[in-house]
Amino acid sequence: MNQLMPSQLHDARSNGRTLVFSAIRRNAPVARVDIAKITNLSPATVTSITAELLTAGLIEEVAVENSGVAGKRGRPRVDLKIRGAAHIVVGIKLSDNSATYSFLDFEGKKIAGYVHPSAQETYCLPELMTFLTDGYSAALTDAGLEESSISGMGLGLPGVVDAEAGIVLWSPVLIEKNQPLQQKLADTFSIPVFIDNDANLVAVAEKHIGLGKNAQNFVVITVEQGVGLGIVINGKIYRGTKGCGAELGHTKVQLDGALCRCGQRGCLEAYVGDYALLREAGTAMGPLEGANPQEQMQALLAAAKKGNTVAQSIIRRAGRMFSMGLANVVNIFAPELIILSGERLQDSFLYGDEVINDMKKYAVQSGDLMPEVKIHSWDNQMWSIGAATFAIDGIIDIALAKIR
């Protein structure tokens, strides 16, 4: 009896144009025959849709290389790819000491980057608008781009963001709550603007131009100041109710445990955050060398490497707590892939084999069901690239909707 599953039958049948476009995006360069196979559309449909996309200037044909190769008979395939020149977007990552700007073309290729430093860590809304406007001008000048050439803007910031509504519900960098930042920015710059929690945007980038290209269900974990979690389900970012993302950093790993910056006890962050390790080191090792937390962390890690057992014990526990947090994500989600994404990977104790092995030990899934773990070391513009990729997503939808 050849059965159909209750779900799986009617879904996945998005829109033909979207289907074709994203197939090209993920597999470029790719010929029409293959697009037909990937999307399960007929060659006829692929021809007509790609013709539309070509006239709209969203994709372009590229010369295929294997002409003249023996054994390759038949009409040669014509490869298609996204036309990078179609649009340029800007992605902005707002952190507590700077705003990072990245310009991407429509293919997702980086054109330019710029960091706009800040003296302040928190802003009221007008101050933030000024800061972003100034930074945007500077970034454009630095990149040698005209403001009129930019088609869209993506902004990622820490905190709780309702991406659907474009509202920042709460952010450590913004004093006021519930601010309609998307609208504000769209009005100011007169281009489509998309905002989201920063961890979600890293997940977007991993999905489209990173290690999650071919995965449908995966999670991206970022460790910066906090521990971030981006969830991709069925190829789409999962944002939970009201578009507010997941909070891995404040999941509880110990009842009545260590005090966290959020005021609660036992949060994962209170065990794996820099400040948490330095707090422990301060108790048992006396003051560490170094003028700032970064340098002090280096000192702590160096001490551990040299054989200091107290330092080792501090780091080891943090690693095990991190494993536990990861294992819980695995147990709840059963993702096919976990991407640990960050810029300080080389010196981070959190990404060592020991931590990954512990995670596997703590997860109940057995053997072949255990998710693959990939470690992705981006440069420090990762976050703004994620924001720009998010903007590309939005621009694509607008562009495809325009074709009729």
Rule CB under 8 A: which of 189-248 touch a copy of itself? 190, 192-194, 217, 229, 231, 233-234, 236-242, 244-248
Kindly state whether residue 16 participates in binding DNA, applying the rule CB under 7 A. Answer: yes
Among 28, 125, 145, 170, binds a copy of itself (CB under 8 A): 170
The partner in contact with residue 369, picked from DNA, a copy of itself, none with C-beta cut-offs of 5 to 8 angstroms by kind, is a copy of itself
Closest CA to 48 of 20, 80, 24: 20
Residues 6+ apart with CB under 8 A from 198: 93, 94, 156, 157, 158, 222, 228, 383, 386, 387
Tell me how many residues contact DNA (CB under 7 A).
31
CB 293 within 8 A of CB 274: yes
- The full DSSP string for 81-140 is EE-GGG-EEEEEEE-SSEEEEEEEETTS-EEEEEEEE-S-S-B-HHHHHHHHHHHHHHHH
Query: What does R_g of the chain's alpha carbons equal in angstroms?
Result: 23
Q: How far is the CB of 84 from DNA (least distance, A)?
A: 20
Alpha helical stretches, state H, 181-273: 181-189, 198-209, 269-272
Kindly state whether residue 55 participates in binding a copy of itself, applying the rule CB under 8 A. Answer: no
CB 315 within 8 A of CB 277: yes
Kindly state whether residue 31 participates in binding DNA, applying the rule CB under 7 A. Answer: yes
Kindly state whether residue 313 participates in binding DNA, applying the rule CB under 7 A. Answer: no
Kindly state whether residue 253 participates in binding a copy of itself, applying the rule CB under 8 A. Answer: yes
Among 64, 284, 398, 403, binds a copy of itself (CB under 8 A): 398
Residue closer to a copy of itself (CB basis): 343 or 397? 397
The β-bridge relationship of strands 88-94 and 150-157 is parallel
Residue closer to DNA (CB basis): 43 or 126? 43
Residue closer to a copy of itself (CB basis): 88 or 288? 88
Q: How far is the CB of 188 from a copy of itself (least distance, A)?
A: 11
Q: Give the footprint of a copy of itself on residues 10-39 (CB under 8 A).
A: 10-11, 13-15, 18
Query: CA–CA separation, 155 vs 168, rounded Å?
Result: 11
Closest CA to 248 of 199, 206, 211, 201: 199
Kindly state whether residue 264 participates in binding a copy of itself, applying the rule CB under 8 A. Answer: yes
CB 161 within 8 A of CB 177: no
Among 26, 28, 45, 138, binds DNA (CB under 7 A): 45
The partner in contact with residue 237, picked from DNA, a copy of itself, none with C-beta cut-offs of 5 to 8 angstroms by kind, is a copy of itself
Kindly state whether residue 403 participates in binding a copy of itself, applying the rule CB under 8 A. Answer: no
String marking each residue 364-393 x if it binds a copy of itself according to CB under 8 A: xxx--x-x------------------x--x
The pair phi, psi for residue 364, each rounded to 5°, is -80, -25
Query: CA–CA separation, 203 vs 215, rounded Å?
Result: 12
Q: Give the footprint of DNA on residues 47-106 (CB under 7 A).
A: 47-51, 67-68, 70-78
**What are the catalytic residues?**
198
Q: Give the footprint of a copy of itself on residues 148-167 (CB under 8 A).
A: 160, 163-164, 166
Which amino acid is residue 235, in one-letter code? Answer: G
Number of other CB atoms surrounding residue 240 within 10 Å: 10
Residues that bind DNA (CB under 7 A): 15-17, 19, 31-33, 40-51, 67-68, 70-78, 404
